[in-house]
Amino acid sequence: MDAPLDRDVERVLLSEEQIRAGLERLAQQLLTDYSSDEPCLVACLRGSLVFTADLIRRMPIRLRVDFLHASSYGNATVSKGTVDLRLLPDPDEVVGRRVILVDDILDSGRTLAAARRTLLDLGASDVKTCVFLEKRVPRSVEARADYKCFEIGDEFVIGYGLDYAGRYRNLPYLAALRRDLVQRAR
């Protein structure tokens, strides 16, 4: 805990070991539900990069991977309320296929709701949502996590793919950022 990034951490919420155990549990559920299909995991960039990479290596079945790029936060810790979907998956990967939409965290629900609608419009036969974290907060839109690794309270977290102003995605554990480094940009 003394590398440059570690010094910005207030406390560790999930250690690497806890994360590994959560991944094993989740992968087993997905394997039970999808082993007779060839699902496409659509990973929301950039936050689900680390989670997706770890998850698919625990799923030894036929599957496909594609991406979409969603952004809603800018440089703040509070969502700006609209979701921009930029890069979209190749329709050939999605049409008629069961899709597992993967994101780092379900917070307001806007990102997953918008991405889910887009995937159904592209022709996915079924879209289920799968997140590393679900925040226990009232949702402003109807969105749910069909699969999740962990639940957390209402606080801003970094690491394991999650960023603050573009930083900290490469922390291998989940943490709360030191308060003096957080600028609440409401």
Q: Which residues bind ligand IMP (CB under 6 A)?
A: 44, 47, 72-73, 79, 103-111, 156-157, 162-163
Of 119, 45, 142, nearest to 86 (Cα)?
Answer: 45
Nearer to ligand IMP, 61 or 87 (CB): 87
What residues are annotated to the active site? 107
Residue 156 to residue 63: CA distance in whole angstroms:
32
**Which ranges of 78-182 would DSSP assign to H, the alpha helix?**
91-94, 110-122
- DSSP 3-state assignment of 124? coil
79 binds, among ligand IMP, Mg ion, none (CB under 5 to 8 A by kind): ligand IMP
Using the minimum distance from each CB to ligand IMP, give the nearer residue, 30 or 114.
114
What b-and-e string marks burial along 103-134, b requiring 16 or more CB atoms within 10 Å of the CB?
bbbbbbbbbbbbbbebbeebebeebbbbbbbb
Residue 110 contact, options Mg ion, ligand IMP, none, Cβ 5-8 Å cut-off depending on partner type: ligand IMP
Q: What does 39 bind: Mg ion, ligand IMP, none (CB cut-off 5 to 8 Å by kind)? A: none
Check residue 179 and give left, alpha or beta (phi > 0: left; psi -120 to 50: alpha): alpha
CA dihedral 22, 23, 29, 30 (to 10 degrees): 150
User: 3-state class of 117 per DSSP?
Assistant: helix
Q: How many residues bind Mg ion (CB under 5 A)?
A: 1
Give the contact letters, 38-67, x = binds to Mg ion (CB under 5 A), - = no: ---------x--------------------
Question: Which residue number, 125 or 140, has a Cβ lying nearer to ligand IMP?
Answer: 140
- 109 touching Mg ion, by CB under 5 A: no
CB of 31 to Mg ion, least distance (A): 28
**Where does this chain bind Mg ion (CB under 5 A)?**
47
